[in-house]
Structure 1
Amino acid sequence: MKAVLHPYQETAAGWLRERPEAALLLDMGLGKTLIALTALVDLATVGEDVWPALVIAPLMTARHVWPAEVAKWDHTRHLRASLVLGSASEREAALRRPAEIYVVNRENVQWLTDRYGPRWPFRTVIVDELSSFKNRQAKRWKALRRVRPMIRRVWGLTGTPAPNGLMDLWAQMHLVDRGERLGRYIGPYRERYFSPGRRSGHVVYDWAPKPGAEDAIFRAIGDVALSMRAKDELELPGRVDNVVEVEMPPAAMAEYRRFERDQATELLGEEVTAASAAALANKLLQWADGAVYDDGGEAQEVHRAKLDALAGIIEEAQGQPVLVFYAFRHDLDRLRAAYPASKALGAHSGDLVERWNRGEVPLLLAHPQQAGHGLNLQDGGHIAVWFGLTWSLEAYLQANARLDRQGQKETTIVHHLVAKGTVDERVMDVLAGKRTLQDAMMDALRGGERGE
C-alpha cells in the first residue's frame, strides 16, 4: 500500500530526520510508527548510517503493530524486521537473524543491554511509548542509560509524556539528550522547577510545579521535543463519555462501608504511606467491581451490580461490538463466565486484533495495560466500557485512544461503570483532573469526603 502522509506527518518525519536526539510527543492515533519508519527510510536513502535500528515497545505493540506497519507500506516493506521476543533461545535466534529493524519488548531491555555490554550494535534506538521510561529507579531505565553513550540516534515516541505531572519528564528526556536540557540529575531539576508539597518530616510525598514551570520546561526542551494534538491535526467523529451510576445492593454497600472503616482505622494506627494508601484504595476498587480476594487468594463475589449494568449496555448496543476494560483478574474471570463467547486480549492473542477489526469479535475483554499502547482497534467498533476503573491517567488515555483515533468512522462512546458512594467516584475525579492521584489515594484512608 502506498503511504500518503498527512501534512502533519510529513512535518514530523522531516523534523525527526533533522535530529539525532528527539522526543515526538504526538497524541494517540496520529501515526507515530509510520512517521518514524518514514524518517528512517528517508535517512537511509540519502546514505545515513541508521541500521541496525532497535525498537523498544510494549509487548503487544512489539508483537503486532511494528511488524504489521513495516509490512504494510510500499516504502518500508523491503525492510527486514526481527522480533526479539519470547524465551531466551527465541530472542537469541532473533538477534542472529539479519535484519534492519529489531523489535524488543521493554521488559527485556536489561537482558539486551547485559548481553551486548560495550559491544552495543544498534545505531538507532526508537523508544515507543517513552513515558514507560519515566521512572529513573526502574531497571529498564538504568539499563538503557548505561548504553546511551553508544547510541548515535535516539527517538522517543509517546502520546502521554507527563500523565502524572511534569516530574515524569526528567527521566524521559535524560534518555533522549543525556541530561543536557533538564539537567543530569533529578535533584537540581526538582529544585529549579518544583516546590515541596505534602510532607512528613523529611519525607516529601509530592512536588508542586512552581509558577511558570510548565512553560519554562517546555521552552528548555523545545528544540528536541515536538508536540502535536489530534484535535488540531485531524477531524475525528468525536467522543462521548458516559457515566453509568451503579447501585450496589444494600447488604454489599454496608459490607463495603464496614471494610473501608475497619481498614482505614487499622492503617491510620500506623505511618500513612503512599503504598498503604494504594493497597487500601485498590482493595476498595475490587469491592466496587463486585469481588474481593480473600486471605487465601481466592476471589469471593460480593455483588453483581456491574455485571448487570454491562448487560444493559450490551443489549442497547444491538449487536455492535463492545470493548470492555477490566482491572483485576477476578473481573476477567467473572466476565468470561457471564459471556463465554467473549475473547480476551493477551500477550499471545495471535490474530485476535485482526479478527476484532474485521468485526468477528462481538465482545473483547482487555486490561488497559495490555491494550493501552499502539494497538489499532478503531476498525472493529466504537463502544468501550470501563468495567473496572484505573487510577492511572496514562493507562486511561491510552486505552480510550484504541478506538478514538485516526480511521474511526463513528462517534466513540466510552461508558464508565461507577459504583455510587465508593472509591470509583474518587477515581473519576482523578481522571477528570479534579484531584491528584496522591490526594485521592490518601482520601481512601480517611473515608474520602464523607470524613469517615
Structure 2
Amino acid sequence: MRRCLVVAPKKVAEATWTNEAAKWQHLKHLRIIPVLGAQQKRIRALNTPGDIWVISRDNLAWLVEHYRNAWPFDMVVLDELSSFKNHQAKRFKVLTWVRPHIKRIVGLTGTPAPNGLLDLWAQVNLLDQGKRLEKLITHYRTKYFEKNYNGYGYTAKPGADDAIQRKIADICISMKAEDYLELPDAITNIIPVVLEDKALKQYKQMEKELLLEIDDDTEITATSAAVLTGKLLQLCNGALYDGERNVHEIHNCKIEAFMELIEQLNGKPALVFYSYQHDRDRILKALEKSGLRIRELKTPQDQLDWNTGKIDILLAHPASAAYGLNLQDGGNHVVWFSLPWSLELYEQANKRLHRQGQKQKVILHHLVVQDGADEDVMAALEAKATTQEKLLNALKVRAEQIRKGA
C-alpha cells in the first residue's frame, strides 16, 4: 500500500491518529496528514506529501467529488465502521462509488451490530462488495429475516446469526478487550433520584398528557417513541423544551442529586454526559460556585488538558464523544446525567475511560429518576437488547396503564 486514507469521526480525525502514532517508536516514520478545516486547507493537506491522510466522515462526500475517477488512495481505513451501517446514508453511497478503486479496506468498530444483524449488511458490503451477504439489502433481508407481524421491522430467522457469522468469518475478527488486554473492571452505580411531591405530580401529569396523545387507534412507532421518550427524559432531568425551543424548568431534583454526587467524589475528575442543551446549561449554572475546573469537550486541547489533570468536570454529549477519543488518563468516573436512547452511543461513550491504559476501576454513575422514563431506558441498556424495541414496549405498557387509570 502506498497511500492510505483514514475516515473517522471529526474529533478522532482532529487528534487521535496523530497523537497515538507519536507514542510508538515503530510508527514515527509515518507521515500522518489531517485533512480538516476549510476547503482550501483540505486541498493543501491532500497535496502535502505523506503516508496516511485522515479526514472526517462528514467530508467524505466532498473528497469523492474532489477526486472523481482519479481516486488516489489504494487503502482505506474506516474508523468506526458502524457509522456506515445505514445503506441509505450518503456516506455509504459515495464510498461505494469509489470502492472498486480501493485495493484494501479495513473497518474498525466496537459495536458492529448495535441494533441487530440488519446493521451488518452495509458494513460487510463495503468490505467485500456484496460477495458474502448478498449484493442487495432486499436479498439479504429476504434470506435471513422475517417481517414482523405488525409490519414494522424484521426479526432474524432461526439460525440466521450462525449462518451470517460463518459467511463473514474469513474477513472478520472479533476481539474482546478482556480476552486480550488487562483492563480494570467497570462498575455500574445506579443513583436513584426521587422526585419531590410537587415535581412528581407535575411529571405524572405531563406524562399522562403526552402518552394520551397517542389514542387507541394510533400505533406507537419508532418516530413517535423517540419524540415521546425524549420529552419524558427531559422531564426526568428537570426541564422541557416547548414548540419554540423555549426552556421551561420543572424541578431541580436531578441537579441536586448530581451536585451531591460531585461532592462525594471529593475532587476526583468526572466525565459527565448530558443529552440536551438545557441539561448542559443547568449543570454549568449549578457548578458556577463550586470552585472546580469545568470544561466542555470541544477541541483536541480539551482532550489533552483532561488527560493531564487540568480539568475536574468535563462535560460532553455522547454523540460527540462516542468514538475513538482516548480520555482514560484523566479520570475513572463517568456520570450519566441523562441516559441516551442508543445502546451504541452508551457503550462507546463508556469506553472513553474504560480502555487500554486505564489504571483504575472505572465507575459508571447513572442518575435514574424512580418510576420515570429513566428506568425504562436503564433497563433496556442493562439488558443489552435492541433498545428501540424495549422502549416501544415500555411506552405501550405505560400508555395502557394510564388509559386504564384515566
Match for 2:211 among 264, 269, 277? 264
- Does structure 1 residue 234 correspond to structure 2 residue 213? no
Please, which moves more after superposition, 423-432 or 83-92?
83-92
| Residue of structure 2 equivalent to 1:63 | 14
For the 8 Å contact 1:246–1:309, the answer to whether it is kept is: yes
* TM superposition score normalised by structure 2: 0.94
Match for 1:136 among 75, 84, 87? 87
SS class of match (1:267): coil
For the 8 Å contact 1:377–1:402, the answer to whether it is kept is: yes
Where does structure 1 lack aligned partners over 5 or more consecutive residues?
1-49
| Residue of structure 1 equivalent to 2:372 | 422
| Residue of structure 1 equivalent to 2:224 | 276
Match for 1:92 among 16, 19, 43? 43
- Does structure 1 residue 343 correspond to structure 2 residue 305? no
Equivalences, count: 397
Q: Deviations over 1:12-48 (max 9, x none)?
A: xxxxxxxxxxxxxxxxxxxxxxxxxxxxxxxxxxxxx
CA distance in 2, matches of 1:149, 1:274: 36
CA distance in 2, matches of 1:413, 1:271: 39
Q: Deviations over 1:222-242 (max 9, x none)?
A: 000001101111222211101
Match for 1:359 among 309, 323, 331? 309
| Residue of structure 2 equivalent to 1:255 | 202
CA distance in 2, matches of 1:198, 1:233: 42
Percent identity reads 47
Q: Which amino acid aligns with 1:343?
A: R
SS class of match (2:40): helix
CA distance in 2, matches of 1:163, 1:357: 29
CA distance in 1, matches of 2:99, 2:197: 57
CA distance in 2, matches of 1:142, 1:367: 27
Q: Deviations over 1:400-430 (max 9, x none)?
A: 1111111111111001111111111111122
Deviation at 1:435, TM superposition (A): 5.1
| Residue of structure 2 equivalent to 1:4 | none
Alignment of 1:115-194 (within 5 A): 115-194=66-145
For the 8 Å contact 1:288–1:419, the answer to whether it is kept is: yes
CA distance in 2, matches of 1:283, 1:88: 38
Deviation at 1:147, TM superposition (A): 0.8
CA distance in 2, matches of 1:446, 1:271: 9
Q: Deviations over 1:171-230 (max 9, x none)?
A: 10000100111111111211222222242xxxx322111222111111100000001101
Q: Deviations over 1:360-395 (max 9, x none)?
A: 111111111111111111111111110010011111
Where does structure 2 lack aligned partners over 5 or more consecutive residues?
none
- Does structure 1 residue 107 correspond to structure 2 residue 58? yes
| Residue of structure 2 equivalent to 1:22 | none
SS class of match (2:22): helix
For the 8 Å contact 1:280–1:444, the answer to whether it is kept is: no
The runs of 4+ residues in structure 1 deviating greater than 4 Å are none
Deviation at 1:150, TM superposition (A): 0.9
For the 8 Å contact 2:8–2:57, the answer to whether it is kept is: yes
Match for 2:273 among 325, 338, 342? 325
- Does structure 1 residue 293 correspond to structure 2 residue 231? no
CA distance in 2, matches of 1:381, 1:334: 23
Aligned-pair RMSD on alpha carbons? Answer: 1.6
Q: Which amino acid aligns with 1:328?
A: Y
| Residue of structure 2 equivalent to 1:369 | 319
Q: Deviations over 1:426-450 (max 9, x none)?
A: 1112212275323333246536287
